[in-house]
Amino acid sequence: MKRKRFVKLAMSYGVQRNEAERLAKLVCVLGSYEGVFAHYRLYLEGRRATMALRRVYKSVVRAVRPMVECLREFFSGIDWAGLLAAEDEDGEEAAETEE
């Protein structure tokens, strides 16, 4: 495997070009680009999985955001103080009738 192929392969796993170039410099330590790739394969697989999870996260956020805005508008129209006061009055009346 040549350097250019190694860099492109690393980039296909979601690694930025500069980071792939830094990994390619490890060829002097590990002997070959195949050796570098084999040594960092789990790291590269983790990067790929992380990128997939980010895509899922972004799509979920895009889907949920309109629902959150709708619920926010719905609940902002409720008079919470009046509702809680009514519940307190009901609770006191229920306690008095039990006695």
Q: pLDDT-derived band of residue 63, with 50, 70 and 90 as boundaries?
A: very high
Q: Which amino acid is at 56?
A: V
What is the SS3 assignment for 40? Answer: coil
Report the number of distinct structural domains present in the chain: 1
Residue that the structure tokens 């789990």 belong to: 42
Opening angle at CA 55, ends 21 and 33, nearest 5: 20
The per-residue pLDDT for 58 is 93
Q: Which amino acid is at 93?
A: E
- pLDDT tens by residue, 1-53: 888 998 898 888 888 899 888 888 888 777 888 888 888 888 888 888 888 89
* Residue 3 Cα distances to 7, 29, 31, 81, angstroms: 6, 14, 12, 68
Domain residue limits at 72: 3-98
- 10-40 per-residue burial string, b: 16 or more CB within 10 A, e: under 16: beebbbeeeebeebbeebeeeeebeebbeeb
- pLDDT tens by residue, 65-87: 999 888 888 888 777 777 777 77
